[in-house]
Amino acid sequence: MDHVTTSKIVIVGAGLMGQGLAEAIATAGTEVTLIDRTTKLAEQGIKGISESIDREIERWGLTQSDKRAILARINSSSDLSQAADAEIVIEAIPEDLERKRSLFAKLDSICDPETVFITNTATLSISEIGASTERPEKIIGMHFLNPVTRIPIVEIVKGLRTQDTTFEKAVQIADVLDKKWITVNEYPGYVTTRIIVPLLNEAMHVLMEGVATAEDIDEAMKLGFGFNVGPLTLADMMGLDVVMSWMENLIRELSEHKYNPCPLLRKMVRAGHLGVKTGQGFFFYDKEGNKINGHANTQTDKPGAVK
């Protein structure tokens, strides 16, 4: 484990997942480089991490000196060649198979043959991603859930050709980040995504059909089944575009109707109402991501209301 804490870790993708991973790794005491397509995107990732730490400080979870130490361990770049001497590269780009395959093909030509590649995909095939490289045995999935710094579980997903030594490296990463890990043999959706997606989809159908309001649906599931967060709020937190991409990947792979995105979800994504990150989803949110007076977006309570 000490070997991992001192090795060079590179994260490609400075969006929400990349930010969360970089923050978690740096908080654990390890230096990390955060790479995105442009310097501006990479710097926006650093800004997002800074704001996330500020929220922790407000909750008395961290101090200003902690913030300085964490940010000092994170470098940003738009140069993929920064990954050349990395021992571990973690991919955290959007859930698109061809984009991931293209990225790993590039990394394969840049990185040392012994570098381990980790993909944070929630639904895609590790084996199919790995086939774009000359090192499928060195590729593994680690499906972290958002927010990475708070959710204590990670799925470690083996591809058909993943070596045991690669799996052990992923376990070391999970241990460094103090995450409980479960072993998953590759199958579309793994465990968490496959189970949560139909639940979210059904909650959206209940709302679209006018059975109950968004607030009452979430309240019923929280109090009735002990959920910390209701399904519609959870979808807003995940990003409605992300949730829809998971559904589309799963229905493409498994051809099961339960993964067919609810028409209301499709309308909301087309309207740009993506949840917390846009300030409007099934509920309204302020810039800090807090619900505004707990009010639901009443436009979503009526079939076809979102234009």
Tokens 């293209």 — which residue? 102
What would the two tokens of residue 36 be?
Answer: 């995105």
Average pLDDT of the chain?
A: 92
Diameter of the chain measured on Cα atoms? 56
Q: Mind listing the pLDDT tens digit for each residue in 50-98?
A: 999 998 898 888 899 999 999 999 999 999 999 999 999 999 999 899 9
pLDDT above 70 covers what percent of the chain?
94
Say if residue 5's pLDDT is above 60: no
pLDDT at 298: 65
Q: Mind listing the pLDDT tens digit for each residue in 271-294?
A: 999 999 999 999 999 987 889 875
pLDDT at 182: 97
Residue range 95-120: mean pLDDT, rounded? 95
- Domain boundary assignment for the chain: 2-185, 194-301
Q: Measuring CA to CA, which residue among 122, 112, 294, 307 is closest to residue 197? A: 122
- Enumerate the β-bridge partners of residue 119: 91, 141
Tokens 């998953």 — which residue? 184
C-beta of residue 95 within 8 angstroms of C-beta of residue 249: yes
Q: Mind listing the pLDDT tens digit for each residue in 230-282?
A: 999 999 999 999 999 999 999 999 999 999 999 999 999 999 999 999 999 99
- CATH superfamily entry for domain 194-301: N-(1-d-carboxylethyl)-l-norvaline Dehydrogenase; domain 2 (1.10.1040.10)
Tell the CATH topology of 2-185.
Answer: Rossmann fold (3.40.50)
pLDDT at 4: 47
